[in-house]
Amino acid sequence: MRNIVKNFLVFFLVFLVIAGFLSAFSDPWEKVEEVGFAEVVSLIKEGEIKSIDVEGSDLYLVYTDDSKKMSRKEEGESLAGLLAFYGVTDEQIQVIDIESKKPSGSQAWISALAPFLIPLLFIGFFIWFMMRQVQGANNRAMMFGNSTAKEEKPPKEGEKKKQTTFNDVAGSIEAKRELEEVV
């Protein structure tokens, strides 16, 4: 019973560590509402957008009232080229603070390696758990002749040692069968 609880706690702690690790590197922008690119164009034309942060194909929009939303553009296309294609003038673009950012190094590594590492960690944990079970079974198999009897503690001062007599075990059917097997 103790091993089951212990193994469950180990598994639960590993799960918490992985969940904490992934949540530490999650982007706070992911919880923001996503809007279409056509809506972004109309908002720029109306002067509602204060700044745009570009990370790859993701556009992080900050409105003039400091609310935040997210949009996406086509991969490999420049934002200025797309806006010009949709009819946004250069004057409207210059009012907006546009900043291009590269994804952070740790976030790029985690997003690249996580699909491989997480299953490998689970498989490794499963193999480790099974190896522990097999080793325990082998050790118990070699102990079949060992007695599991407990050593009796000596009596305390002033107490008499309780003597086990034949009458105490005389009615034991199990003891009689074992004696018949020996004889």
- pLDDT tens sequence across 12-31: 888 878 877 776 666 555 56
Q: What is the pTM of this model?
A: 0.45
The whole-angstrom separation of Cα 93 and Cα 49 is 10
Task: Find the domain containing 53 and state its range.
Answer: 32-102
Tell me: do 36 and 85 sit in the same domain: yes
The residue with tokens 């972004």 is 40
Any domain includes 44: yes
The whole-angstrom separation of Cα 115 and Cα 111 is 8
Which amino acid is it at 79?
L
The residue with tokens 């294609």 is 85
Token representation of residue 152: 């009796």
- Higher pLDDT pick, 38 / 108: 38
Residue 115 has a pLDDT of 81
Check whether 123 has a pLDDT greater than 70.
yes
Tell me: do 73 and 125 sit in the same domain: no
Which of the 8 DSSP states describes residue 27?
Answer: -
